[in-house]
């Protein structure tokens, strides 16, 4: 899992929430380049501030265009603000910023196991 936030304090907060999960990589600037190198299964991004160079929607779109196997999850204080553009950009999900640790880990596991082909066959 790859954590992305332009805010160091927020990166640390997210890292602590998911620290029980294996393979957590934390990134700030250069997130797209770092994701290409590490090829994570899940990328968790905080959408509440602009990251240097690209915002989370642009970064999500760029990740989708590179065809990395990662599923992008965006965390936002105002999910309504980002929902449509996040999904159009290729995000697998968007979660509220005030999500509990247990709910966050559950959502990450579910999204990690989800595949677009399995949802369309139901």
CATH number belonging to domain 1-83? 3.40.50.2300
User: Residue 16: its pLDDT value, please?
Assistant: 81
Domain boundaries, the chain: 1-83
pLDDT given at position 40: 79
pTM of the model: 0.77
pLDDT of residue 118: 45
Sign of CA dihedral 82, 83, 87, 88: negative
Q: What are the average pLDDT values for consecutive 10-residue runs of the chain, which has 122 residues? A: 73 78 61 72 74 74 83 85 88 90 89 62 38
CA distance 60 to 65: 9
pLDDT at 121: 39
Measured CA to CA, the distance from residue 69 to residue 74 in angstroms comes to: 16
Give me the pLDDT at residue 103, please.
Answer: 93
Instruction: Give the number of other Cβ atoms within 10 Å of residue 91's Cβ.
Output: 25
112, 86, 67, 2: CA torsion to nearest 10: -50
Placement of tokens 């999900």 in the chain: 93
The pLDDT assigned to 29 comes to: 55
């Amino acid at each position: 899992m790859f954590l992305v936030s332009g805010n160091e304090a927020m990166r640390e907060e997210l890292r602590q929430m998911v620290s029980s999960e294996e393979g957590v990589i934390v990134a700030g600037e250069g997130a797209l380049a770092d994701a290409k190198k590490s090829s994570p299964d899940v990328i968790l991004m905080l959408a509440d501030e602009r990251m240097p160079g690209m915002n989370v929607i642009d970064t999500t779109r760029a990740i989708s265009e590179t065809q990395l196997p990662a599923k992008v999850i965006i965390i936002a204080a105002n999910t309504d603000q980002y929902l449509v553009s996040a999904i159009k950009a290729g995000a697998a999900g968007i979660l509220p910023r005030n999500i509990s640790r247990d709910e966050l880990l559950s959502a990450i596991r579910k999204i990690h196991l989800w595949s677009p082909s399995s949802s369309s066959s139901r």
